Chains A and B, each alone.
Chain A
Amino acid sequence: MSFPPSCAKLFALTALVLTVTGTVYADDPRSTSSSKLTATKGAEVYSHVCQGCHMPSGQGAIGAGAYPKLANNPALASWQYIAVIVLNGRNAMPPFGIPSGHSVSGFRAAVLSDAQIADVVNHVRSHFGNQYKDKVTAEQVAELPHPSTVVQF
């Protein structure tokens, strides 16, 4: 089977996007919307994404299961602990990290850059009753383990 040579060049660029379209979910309109959050400040990232589960004041929530509270949470003493969870997810929490060397697109993806993750980690650790003074940088987040694949919603 032969394909025009221009196709070969495209493979590397589009492989990620195409591999993730291989799963069929309950509805799949072929329209695109944004997978990336334009907000860059930690407070905005928190109010656009994190508070969906961890709630506007970081108080968490309890139903059949629970979302951990971030307010006055001693586990936040370690920025690495929080950053690794945001990057890679934990149990039902989706991973937000971008796999190394990939760019992500598609309306079913939900990812944050290392800079956004650093900023939101700093935000959470200095709000909601948490008063940790040390700040983490995007470069430090970049050194932590990242997911190997992108989860599509």
Chain B
Amino acid sequence: MNRPGFFPVWQRNFLVWKKLALPSILGNLADPLIYMLGLGYGLGAMLPEIGGQPYIAFLAAGTICASTMNAATFEALYSSFSRMHVQKTWDAILNTPLGLTDVVAGELFWAATKSFFSGCAILVVVTVMGLTNGPLALFILPAIVLTGLAFAALGLIWNALAPSYDFFMYYFTLFITPMTLISGVFFPTDQLPGWLALIGAWLPLAQGVALVRPLLAGEVPTDIALHVGVLLATTAIAFVIALRLTRRRLLK
């Protein structure tokens, strides 16, 4: 018998999602678009160009990354927690030939997949609005994948530690929201004190922004290997930690 690995776990989640695909995509699209359009045109009207581009274009790149991050994070926290803790879906799977590595990897790739749908949906809207500049924008797709993977893996760490849904609020208020503000999503980080900008630059969201913003503007990003490397390393290290913590939680 062949060992099926993580794929059936991913497939299970995909099958559930397929039943509610359209409302799910629209729901994931509405919130970031409202912010992007509201801030982009409302606030943007009062702002000069940033780095030679209108504010709405600057913000579009940040929105693609932030909405990828949010989708991956929500899936790896709330949805994975439902499956692990409330529905006991993971327990059921662990009674089969699959192991915990398969389960957690399936969840990682699924959360990344779902965030890919979200990031792509924003990218499509941004393209329709005429904010892309040439075929380099296609390389935004792999950048979305890398960003989604990193945040899925980070979310799974918190999932493994969570006693209840309430616990996830801390993750947003202590990590996600501050990071969004210092990673150059809404404004350039050179507005920040030097030390804070430095911290922000190393956070995974900033790595995604550093890739997506130039690609959207039709330019080749600088330090590609560094940004890709940091995102991949974040994914790998966070996954190993998440797996270990989940093992301690479920298989003690």
Q: Do A and B bind each other?
A: no
